[in-house]
Amino acid sequence: MFREERGRLLAALARRFGDLDLAEEVTSEAIEAALVRWPVDGVPPNPGGWLMTTARRKAVDRLRRDQAYAAKLAILQVDADRAEGPRPGGGLPDERLELFFTCAHPALAPEDRGALTLRCLAGLSTPEVARAFLVPVATMAKRIVRAKARIRDARIPFRVPDADELPARLPGVLQVIYSVFTEGYAASSGPYLQRTDLAEEAIRLARILHGLLPGEREVTGLLALMLLVHARCAARTGPDGDVVLLEDQNRARWDADLITEGRALVVSALTGGPAGPYAVQAAIAAVHDEAPDFVSTDWPQIVALYDVLLTIDPSPVIALNRAAAVAFRDGPETGLALLDSLAAEPRLRDYHPYALARADLLHRLNRLPEARAAYEQALGTAGSDPERTHIHRRLAALTSEDN
């Protein structure tokens, strides 16, 4: 409940007071007060309303104590009200999406937009945000501080963008939602492989955005991609939370309804013009989900789709995924050569799926000493406990083969 309400509180308070730092502080203080009061007094009938009232009172008290700060915020609020005017059609159906669009303002540096939104709205920690963007934690902390300062100094209003502003803001919002989903799909740290609450929150926000902008094919593509991937959620871990690889998953546990919905959305996302990166990734996910078993996977089609994806989004992570698909189509030696060609990519240096993919291919080629070194490299950068356990087991299997 706190995770759900935190985002709503922060969005509403940031919009009301025009200051993200103040909104974050009083949101945290309200939740802290609830943790003290509710075990004694009981949970109130309207928990969200209680938290909002408490947070607003704390914000007002703080402003009364610091008149200079209050005066500055008053100027920001006047500027925001003047820029905004009446709320068109009551605004977006979720205040958090208002703040998503605010944090995707073009006045912010592109790398700062997603960082700020993930930290403030999705409630991810700074290390989790850093992992989502494959940068050091210290770098990410500086980005978040810089983005908040930019919003404050540039007096960026917390408001619904006009219709002609939405296309420019949309890619940043989609990136943020997908980054939240990615953290939910594979947690960067902790005892669980997946954080299904985050994945489902990202899907919920994407559904709202799709309802708001049904004609935007990349919104449709992103929603399709997340549904098709999340459909495998129940089969990705064993009874003890252990990692279950795609080739070993019980496909009867995949969510057939989500797959049906996602496949229908893929068709819409690919129809009517050149496909965007989310639509192509959704098509790849659909090919996986359509296969009755791993052996029947249409690897030539998946590689062809990755070829298309690399032309529109030439990132090293996509190149890594393509190399893995090529290994299943053409054999591990060919796939390994492609992986080795990416060795100089700085974004893959601490990205444990890269070292893990190399280790698995070296293992399949019976190059055991090299495989062990690659597994140990992956172990040094893996985040969650189940991922580390999985790598330990792969290393143990190597040792038994050596003996």
Please answer whether residues 212 and 91 qualify as being in contact, where contact means their C-beta atoms are separated by less than 8 angstroms: no
Question: Of the spans 52-66, 92-106, 162-176, 215-229, which averages the highest pLDDT?
Answer: 215-229
In DSSP terms, which residues pair with 129 in a beta bridge? none
* Residues comprising the chain, all counted: 403
pLDDT tens for each residue of 117-155: 778 766 778 888 887 777 899 999 999 999 888 888 887
In a domain, 386, yes or no: no
Closest CA relative to residue 121, chosen from 134, 105, 103: 103
Please answer whether residues 181 and 203 qualify as being in contact, where contact means their C-beta atoms are separated by less than 8 angstroms: yes
Q: What is the pLDDT of residue 403?
A: 65
Q: What is the pLDDT of residue 69?
A: 63
What single letter denotes the amino acid at residue 359?
A
Q: What value does the mean pLDDT take over residues 7-29?
A: 84
CB neighbour burial string for 62-96, b if at least 16 within 10 angstroms, e if fewer: bbeeeeeeeeebeebbeebeeeeeeeeeeebebbb
Paired tokens of 270: 């690919």
Q: What value does the mean pLDDT take over residues 106-113?
A: 82
Q: What is the pLDDT of residue 88?
A: 38
Q: Round the average pLDDT of the chain to a whole number and report it.
A: 87
**Residue 77: pLDDT band with limits 50, 70, 90:** low
Instruction: For 190, list phi and psi in degrees, rounded to 5.
Output: 105, 180
DSSP code, position 72: H
The region of weakest confidence among 142-156, 284-298, 309-323 is 142-156
Structure-model confidence comparison of residues 263 and 113, the more confident one: 263
In this prediction, what percent of the chain has a pLDDT beyond 70? 91
**Residue 338: pLDDT band with limits 50, 70, 90:** very high
What single letter denotes the amino acid at residue 67?
Q
The region, left, alpha or beta by phi > 0 then psi within -120 to 50, assigned to residue 272 is left
Please answer whether residues 253 and 236 qualify as being in contact, where contact means their C-beta atoms are separated by less than 8 angstroms: no
**Residue 300: pLDDT band with limits 50, 70, 90:** very high
**Residue 389: pLDDT band with limits 50, 70, 90:** very high
**Residue 72: pLDDT band with limits 50, 70, 90:** low
CA distance 129 to 134: 9
Residue 84 has pLDDT above 70, yes or no: no
Q: Which residues contact 311 (CB under 8 A, 6 or more apart)?
A: none
In a domain, 168, yes or no: no
In a domain, 74, yes or no: yes
Residue 290 has pLDDT above 90, yes or no: yes
Structure-model confidence comparison of residues 163 and 39, the more confident one: 39
Q: What is the pLDDT of residue 360?
A: 96
Residue 34 has pLDDT above 90, yes or no: yes
In DSSP terms, which residues pair with 237 in a beta bridge? 243
Q: Which domain holds residue 40?
A: 1-85
Residue 80 has pLDDT above 60, yes or no: no
In DSSP terms, which residues pair with 200 in a beta bridge? none
**Residue 82: pLDDT band with limits 50, 70, 90:** very low
Q: What is the pLDDT of residue 53?
A: 92
CB atoms within 10 A of CB 164: 7
DSSP letters of 313-355? ---HHHHHHHHHHHHHHH-HHHHHHHHHTTTT-GGGTT-HHHH
Total domain count, the chain: 1
CA distance 402 to 371: 12
CA distance 272 to 260: 21
The region, left, alpha or beta by phi > 0 then psi within -120 to 50, assigned to residue 331 is left
CA distance 147 to 117: 10
In a domain, 319, yes or no: no
In this prediction, what percent of the chain has a pLDDT beyond 90? 54
Q: What is the pLDDT of residue 94?
A: 60
Structure-model confidence comparison of residues 24 and 329, the more confident one: 329
The region, left, alpha or beta by phi > 0 then psi within -120 to 50, assigned to residue 402 is alpha
Please answer whether residues 283 and 302 qualify as being in contact, where contact means their C-beta atoms are separated by less than 8 angstroms: no
What is the sign, positive or negative, of the torsion defined by CA atoms of 243, 124, 225, 312? negative
Q: What value does the mean pLDDT take over residues 31-50?
A: 93
Angle (deg, nearest 10), helices 299-312 and 277-290? 170
Please answer whether residues 254 and 228 qualify as being in contact, where contact means their C-beta atoms are separated by less than 8 angstroms: no
In a domain, 262, yes or no: no
CA distance 12 to 120: 12
In a domain, 290, yes or no: no
CA distance 4 to 95: 12
Q: What value does the mean pLDDT take over residues 83-108?
A: 62
Q: What is the pLDDT of residue 249?
A: 97
pLDDT tens for each residue of 225-240: 999 999 999 999 999 8
What is the sign, positive or negative, of the torsion defined by CA atoms of 16, 20, 21, 25? positive
**Residue 265: pLDDT band with limits 50, 70, 90:** very high
In a domain, 231, yes or no: no
Please answer whether residues 15 and 55 qualify as being in contact, where contact means their C-beta atoms are separated by less than 8 angstroms: no
Paired tokens of 86: 């009446």
Q: What is the pLDDT of residue 292?
A: 96
Q: What is the pLDDT of residue 396?
A: 92
In a domain, 23, yes or no: yes
